[in-house]
């Protein structure tokens, strides 16, 4: 598991627990399958970005490209900070 995916998985799991949601409840609210939530929280290396963002939007975040090529430059942004061109 990569450090970047681990950070994302830890973030999602922590947010879910903060909201006192089960994986089943989170999958239903996000409109994704339970298997996807499990894979996301386990740090699967390849995930569909659109589905990741469906989950993150529940926490008012989105995942997007950032300039740089290091793990340190990877960021998760609050949804309102994400601008679409």
User: What does the domain layout of the chain look like in residue ranges?
Assistant: 3-80
Which among 75, 11, 18 has a CA at the least distance from the CA of 43?
Answer: 11
Q: Span 3-80: which CATH code?
A: 1.10.260.40
Output the pLDDT for position 1: 42
* CA angle (27 as vertex; 23, 32 as ends), nearest 5: 145
Q: What is the pLDDT of residues 51-74, one digit of tens each?
A: 999 999 999 999 888 777 665 555
Cα distance between residue 79 and residue 45, in whole Å: 23
Structure tokens at 42: 């386990």
Q: Are 78 and 63 in contact (CB under 8 A)?
A: no
Q: What is the pLDDT of residues 4-28, one digit of tens each?
A: 555 899 999 999 999 999 999 999 9
């Amino acid at each position: 598991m990569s450090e970047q995916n681990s950070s994302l998985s830890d973030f999602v799991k922590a947010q879910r627990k903060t909201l006192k949601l089960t994986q089943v409840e989170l999958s239903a609210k996000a409109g994704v399958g339970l298997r996807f939530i499990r894979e996301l929280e386990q740090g699967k290396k390849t995930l569909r970005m659109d589905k990741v963002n469906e989950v993150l939007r529940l926490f008012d975040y989105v995942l997007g490209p950032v300039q740089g090529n290091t793990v340190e430059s990877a960021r998760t942004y609050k949804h309102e900070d994400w601008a679409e061109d």
